[in-house]
Structure 1
Amino acid sequence: MRTLQGCLASAAVLCLLTAGCGTVARNETSPSPQNNSNVRAQQTEPRAKAITDSKSVAAHLEALAKGIHGVKNAHCVIVGNLAVVGIDVDSKLERSRIGTIKYSVAEAFRKDPYGVNAIVTADMDLSERLKEIGADIRNGRPIQGFSEEMADIIGRIVPQMPRDTIPKDEHTEQSMNKQAPKINKNL
């Protein structure tokens, strides 16, 4: 009886092995896109177009952003092939709603060859600064206007540490020391 069960088990294992090997052999003979140079993938995403006319591209992206529900106004600045777009939304909206509107603008830009690599911000201060940079560019002061606004932006980002301040003169320092409370340095 044991030999019969052993033979049946051996036969079952042999069948499984041959069936498994047959499957591997069939998969190896099927055509593979990696091995076939005639198979081409079609790009579904728009490719970014080189920006040659920054004024018209800025106007185009502003109009595209303004077409999104919830966007009151948009300001675009082009630097090389990079577009930075600030959107104005109702300041009374909740953050989550503002984020949704910003995402909708980015989604619309994703489908546009000029907007696919754009940066979108809904920050009110940055949007206002982009508006001022755009006005400076239109008024013929692109470099000076840009550098002034960048200095203002960096000034907001970099914190001012009290220990880094230097009094203007000794008289100012002495008057500040008289008004300042005494600190016990032995603590």
Structure 2
Amino acid sequence: MRKWLVPAMLLSLLAAGCNTVARNETSPSPQNDNRVRAQQSSPQKTTISSPKQVAAHLEDLARHVPGVKGAHCVVFKNKAVVGIDVAGNLDRSRVGTVKYAVAEAFHKDPYGVDAIVTADIDLSHRLSELGADIRRGRPLAGLGEEMADIIGRIVPQIPRDVQPMKMEPKSTEQKNLDRQLQQAGSKNQKKL
């Protein structure tokens, strides 16, 4: 009898613990909610048909934000990256504020909704070079060059991987020049 008493008690405690009782504190069902519901709306991104015009438009939009001295934009397919130039004496928080103001201006624009805004000096300069390459008719070559430069700065240099430079054997002219310099140096020492 004792063998069955312990499992029976555990089973009854388990059943009592899993009992669900309706409480008055529960939230109402969404089906009985009489409040007005609205769909969240944000500006819809429009398809970019002319990247040059969109780049010029976004650059102009960014330049009109107070604190922006210049802007460079590159548009690829339906994405835009905008680098802004700000005064060099601005502190980090003020630069963040200016960058946020540009992003806010872009948020209201159908072409700028998904644009990426950066205030990094190096990236902004690289964007201007890439834009110049695109205008010259070499977008892929320009992109490849700039990406190589960016990645070259990101990838760390590990001292263990450094190979010492090998010295080239000296030419006979260099050996003769070295010999003449040594002889001239020894003559000067004898005179002293």
Q: TM-score, normalised by structure 2?
A: 0.68
Alignment match, 2:181: none
Correspondence for 1:73: 70
CA drift at 1:165: 1.3
Q: Aligned to 2:154, which of 154, 157, 160?
A: 157
Q: Which residue of 1 aligns with 2:42?
A: 45
Give 1:3's aligned residue. none
Q: Which residue, out of 131, 135, 144, partners 1:134?
A: 131
Q: Paired residue for 2:163?
A: 166
Q: Could you give the per-residue CA deviations for residues 64-115 of structure 1, whole angstroms, max 9, x where no partner exists? A: 1011000000000011111000000001111110010001001111111111
2:57 counterpart letter in structure 1? H
- Alpha-carbon distance, 1:30 to partner: 7.0
1:51 Cα deviation from its structure 2 partner: 1.3
Structure 1 vs Structure 2 CA RMSD: 2.7
The equivalences for 1:24-39 within 5 A come to 32=33
Secondary structure of 2:58's match?
Answer: helix
1:112 aligned to 2:109?
yes
Moved more, 66-75 or 162-171: 162-171
Length, aligned pairs only: 146
Query: Which runs of 5 or more residues in structure 1 are unaligned?
Result: 1-19, 34-38, 173-187
Q: Which of 77, 80, 83 is the equivalent residue of 1:86?
A: 83
Give the corresponding residue for 1:59.
56
Counterpart Cα distance in 2 of 1:29 and 1:95: 46
1:138-159 CA-to-partner distances (Å, cap 9, x unmatched) read 0111111111011000011111
- Cα deviation digits, residues 11-57 of structure 1 (max 9, x gap): xxxxxxxxx88x99xx6697558xxxxx9845531011121210011
Q: Which runs of 5+ in 2 are unaligned?
A: 1-22, 170-192
Distance 1:29 1:163, change over 3 A: closer
The percent identity for this pair of structures is 61
Label 1:99 to 1:28 Cα distance change in 2 as closer, same or farther (>3 A): closer
Larger mean Cα displacement after TM superposition, 106-115 or 96-105: 106-115
